[in-house]
Amino acid sequence: MNEPTPAEIVDRYTDELYHQRNLDALDDLVSDPMVRHEPDGTRVTLTLEEAKFRVASFHQQFRSMRFTNRKIVQDQESVAAAYEADLVDQDGGVVTICGVEIFTVRSGRITEVWNPPAGNGSWG
């Protein structure tokens, strides 16, 4: 059986964690630890439990989230995704955001993520 492509890993990550709200999927999808590159130039190393806590905080803030990748660019171990997301808050209000996220995938697991701040609205 062929190993999934980096884009397939990232698609599963988005679907399992945000659409299905399955935090346990992180056990199979991310390395422990994983590195997040922040917009201010810092690198944050997260254990698996810290990564779960990070995503769980989004689940508490939004009752549903729907991400759509508008453009995917990948090579052997990296995926860049231009995404849009409709975020539904606890009162039913919907906010649409867009951004770019870059993932490094090694041995079938996400090892690093670059995640600059998202913008308001959708891609034009």
Class of domain 6-120: alpha beta
* Token digits of residue 99: 């951004």
Domain ranges of the chain: 6-120
CB 10 within 8 A of CB 59: no
Of 38, 40, 13, the closest CA to residue 27 belongs to 13
The answer to whether the bond into 117 is cis (omega within 30° of 0) is: no
pTM: 0.91
> pLDDT, tens digit, for every residue of 16-56?
999 999 999 999 999 999 999 988 889 999 999 999 999 99
Q: At 108, which helix (H) or strand (E)?
A: none
